[in-house]
Amino acid sequence: MKIAAVMAVGLLALVQSGCGGDEDAAPRSRPNILFVIMDDVGIDQMQVFGYGGETPPSTPNMAQIADTGLRFSNTWSMPACTTSRAVFFDARFPFRTNVQGALGPADLANSMVSPYEMTAPKLLAKQGYESALFGKFHLALQGNDPSGYAAPYNLGWNYFAGWLDETGDPFSIDRTAGGVATDGKSYSCGFVPGASANGADSGACYMADGACNTLASSGPVPPGRTCRDQGGIFDPDKSCQTQRPGYLNFETLSGHYVSPLVYNYPDGSVDRIPPTDPRARRFRATVAVDEAIQWINQRSDRQSWMATVSFASDHTPLMQPPVNAAQPGNVESSSLDCANTGAQRVVSNLMIESIDAELGRLLVKTGLAEYDQDGHLRYQPQRTNTMVIVLGDNGSLGQTVKLPFDTSRAKGTAYQTGVWVPLIIAGPLVENPDRVVSQMVNIADLYALFGEIAGIEDVQQAVPRPIDAVSMLPYLRNPSQPGLRPWNFTQVGPNLQANGAINGPCTISSTCTQIPVTKGVCEDNNGTWWGTGLDAPITAGAPSEGFKYCCEVSAFLVAKGDAPYDISPLTAIGIRNDHYKIVQNSMNAYVSQAQPCVDTTTTEFYEINEAIPNPKLDVAGAELPLDSLTPEQQRNYNALSAQLTTILASQPACPGDGNIDLVVDQKDLDDWRFYSKSSGLSSVYDLNLDGLTNAADESIIRENLGRNCRAD
């Protein structure tokens, strides 16, 4: 259903005045940008970087791109997906934007990318570029964002085709497989397995358009999976009926396979495709590439563009990608239990391999590469006018991490396994390809590269507020380029919620974390939820409203005679130079029943490197003793500590400034009035963080009128 996004058009006009394209630009002479984002794929997975453990996923297409371009072997992300996306699309670290962690449905607009940010598509629009984003968005959620389903348009994208899920990530797997599970059965991968796995070898495959075909096993792939891969619902041991059985459920969402699609168009209108539509019943990685191919191939040769293909793989819930004969392990995976940790490691590899296959298809179908007679990718970037950038958004999820990386200090943490990611860049601007850039890079620096590719000489000067990006183009042009970034930084923490609320506790294995944004996300990661709605047997006797903090969960368990959980930090910061690293973790720690929750901050200091295949990591027990450092270690520790203090002090508080221009003036009153009249709910002008944009927020502006925070 197509709806007019009137409010979003108004918002865009409000915040983008003066940000139009450069009429004198010559976009045909500037390279296009194809930006590919892998989800939850850390450098530990990547054989092309010398890692991958004993069972690395096979990624020949990425290897081909790396061989014809550059491997950036020392790249830091933020520890979570939303924080990383915000940083590489606006070049501002989390403490500047309040986009501290992965977005969830309770997070306020104040912790989403602000419509006043100079996002990458807005920056490139100054140079005449058109921008589109395909797949995962996760920069804002419609529940608390005034622009709703038009958020991609409102943040500057000319076109969007992808998912605006309630949590920003795929929904849980539908274990009823479309409503056909009976007698207590549960299908962990979302499809009916073969008879040998307590499923069926024949049945009726109903499609969303009303068609039905009888399917039977003809090999190792059960018909239930074949039907699911085609977007249908498999009714086991049944024949097709003229009238579709009423128990079949085409409404229920399911992981990477049943996902409502959302389109944003250049005129600001929005189209929402429900799960009952065949277009919304395809594997997400395939959808993102299909949509990107169509849009790219419609661009004029005279029009420069940036296309972001944002995969949802390898994010939970982990599910087998569609059967591909070139992946024997994929065919054999049909009998796996997707809830089993060991099986999830196998499925994780398959999902990363499917990204690689889709990436090859994307390059070939858009004319950037071709397959040779043996089916191998033949990519010659110097013959194209397109820069290709492939990035992992953060470290791998703990249960999928490849050794020798640290499964307990992975995604969501500021440790190396959580923030060290693969980055590959190829294209006509790369001189002397097939080399490794070992200098430190932060994902914020990609923003500078986007601008540099588009011909902007001074990216900071083009942005009306401080950014944290460092130039990257010299690395592409000069094989001898010294490092441009003397330090690197990463940060994660809880997002802002109304009246000081926070994500509920979730226990996974022996650890309690507050990163999962909902009960469903917690359970998708094999966890037990202790927040509102807790219902696992282990939570019996807990307050009906659940607990706010992990330390309260530990106190509850100790009172029952059980052992407390290890508690993951609520906030974490990492800073490093070429050889040393500081990690600061803060949490409400369980100390004793007399002191169940104590605000605690720890500071750890490590020596690290990027050796292959066994890098020196910041693992438990490798901390350098702060009370007996060598003179060299002490100098590095002091320098990093001072740098961290300087960084965190570089963003002045500015109460009343909702449009982030660091001045509180009449424009803030005008903008507040727009938001208060448009919805009155969450917005960047909810200055007192109560979930409303109302007179209380106007009072804060008036109390600070005339304040110039740039001078503070």
Cα–Cα distances in Å, from 22 out to 10, 18, 125, 127, 128? 22, 10, 8, 5, 6
- Torsion of the alpha carbons at 412, 415, 419 and 422, rounded to the nearest 10: -130
Place of tokens 């190829």: 426
Angle between helices 666-678 and 695-703 (to 10 degrees): 170
User: Residues 241-284: pLDDT tens digits?
Assistant: 999 999 999 999 999 999 999 999 999 999 999 999 999 999 99
Domain architecture of the chain: domains with CATH: 2-171+255-492 (3.40.720.10), 175-252 (no CATH), 503-567 (no CATH), 666-711 (no CATH)
Q: Average pLDDT of the chain?
A: 94
Whole-angstrom distance, CA of residue 333 vs CA of residue 346: 8
Q: Tell me, what's the pLDDT at 8? A: 52
Give residue 711's identity as a one-letter amino acid code. A
Structural tokens at position 606: 């490590």
Cis bond before residue 328 (omega within 30° of 0): no
Rg, the chain, Cα only: 25
Split at pLDDT 50, 70, 90, the class of 29 is low
Structural tokens at position 46: 């990547």
Q: Tell me, what's the pLDDT at 297? A: 98
Residue 35: closest CA among 305, 349, 303: 305
Share of the chain above pLDDT 90, in %: 92
User: Residues 503-551: pLDDT tens digits?
Assistant: 999 999 889 999 999 999 999 888 999 999 999 999 999 999 999 999 9
For β-strands 233-236 and 212-216, DSSP reports them as: unpaired
The CA-based angle 577-469-268, given to 5 degrees, is 145
Running DSSP on this structure, what letter comes out for residue 464?
S
Give residue 347's identity as a one-letter amino acid code. V
Q: Is 80 exceeded by the pLDDT of residue 428?
A: yes
Question: Cα(first)–Cα(last) distance of the chain, in Å?
Answer: 49
Q: Is 60 exceeded by the pLDDT of residue 21?
A: no
Handedness of CA 644, 645, 650, 653 (dihedral sign): positive
Q: Tell me, what's the pLDDT at 18? A: 41
User: Residues 51-80: pLDDT tens digits?
Assistant: 999 999 999 999 999 999 999 999 999 999
User: Residues 353-369: pLDDT tens digits?
Assistant: 999 999 999 999 999 99
Share of the chain above pLDDT 70, in %: 96
Q: Is the pTM of this model over 0.85?
A: yes
Q: Is 499 left (phi over 0), alpha (psi -120 to 50) or beta?
A: left
Q: Is 70 exceeded by the pLDDT of residue 329?
A: yes
Q: Is 80 exceeded by the pLDDT of residue 11?
A: no
What's the mean pLDDT in 299-312? 96
What's the mean pLDDT in 215-234? 94
Q: Tell me, what's the pLDDT at 409? A: 96
Q: Tell me, what's the pLDDT at 612? A: 98
Place of tokens 């591909």: 324
Note whether 508 and 489 are within 8 A (CB). no
Q: Is 90 exceeded by the pLDDT of residue 16?
A: no
Higher per-residue confidence, 25 vs 152: 152
Q: Tell me, what's the pLDDT at 2? A: 53
For β-strands 270-273 and 261-264, DSSP reports them as: antiparallel
SS3 317: coil
Which residues, at least 6 apart from 518, have a Cβ–Cβ distance to it below 8 Å?
A: 104, 105, 166, 167
Structural tokens at position 550: 């992990």
Handedness of CA 26, 28, 30, 36 (dihedral sign): positive
The gap from C-alpha 25 to its chain's centroid, in whole angstroms, comes to 32
Whole-angstrom distance, CA of residue 472 vs CA of residue 484: 8
